[in-house]
Amino acid sequence: MVTRIITAIVALLLLLPLLIWGGEYGAGALFALISGFSVYEMLGCCGLLKKWGISIPSIIISALAAFLPIWNIAVAAIAVILGVPLLLVVFLIVGVVKHATLDIERLLMFFALALYITAGFTALSAMRAVIGLWAVALVLSVSWCTDTFAYFSGMLFGNKKLCPNISPKKTIAGAIGGTLFGTIAGVVVFWIAIGEPLLGLVALPLAIVSQFGDLAASVIKRRFGVKDYGKIFPGHGGVLDRFDSIIPVSVITAIILFLGFFF
């Protein structure tokens, strides 16, 4: 547990200054780096890392996509609308041409997962560019508070397991504690950012989504027979192990906030 706490503190000390004081481009570069590295880890999980014709373009495209909203939000929107169907066609062609040496099911699973990862960090960049830093703070605070307090609530009060076949250490008490404190974190962010704490109750479903994101990441690891996505964070695993709950929360938050922002 000590290693886990120290790693989290060091990571925050390294990441938060760039996120807060690095401006839009600093934040965009950070999200691009995390997105590209997350796709790299998913390639390893899916057993496709050494398929260089797939892995290198996938990492580059993911990183560029996560940075694009910072540069130009309109271009980013067009790129998503046109790029995703085109990439799917390319993956299908590769799957057919390389069917003798490449499992097309595994390839298309990776495509869906890489798209999911990239969508999460691209959403963070889009919120940073259009809405502001507080939107990113909302996602991070809800996700990390949910995860942190689920861990400690489960450790202190957890007896009954939540879903032992997926994640043996998670408990019902942990899920309740994580949801409660994740919601409180959202209320605080809305209160500080726009003076409307009641709107922060939107964090309640976000805290629940956060935990499903974590569980889904565990299901994927079990499907491919890996314990962690990586080893870059001692006590936490890889980048995806630390950001798995943030990805779905950022997508849902972006939808909610952009609907409110534009309509």
pLDDT of res. 157: 85
CA angle 76, 96, 216 (to 5 degrees): 55
pTM summary value:
0.93
CB 138 within 8 A of CB 254: no
CB 132 within 8 A of CB 19: no
- What sign does the CA torsion over 215, 48, 124, 92 have? negative
pLDDT tens for the 263 residues of the chain, in order: 556 666 667 667 778 888 888 999 999 999 999 999 999 999 999 999 999 999 999 999 999 999 999 999 988 999 999 999 999 999 999 999 999 999 999 999 999 999 999 999 999 999 999 999 999 999 999 999 999 999 899 888 867 888 888 988 899 999 999 999 999 999 999 999 999 999 999 999 999 999 999 999 999 999 999 988 988 877 668 899 989 999 999 999 999 999 876 55
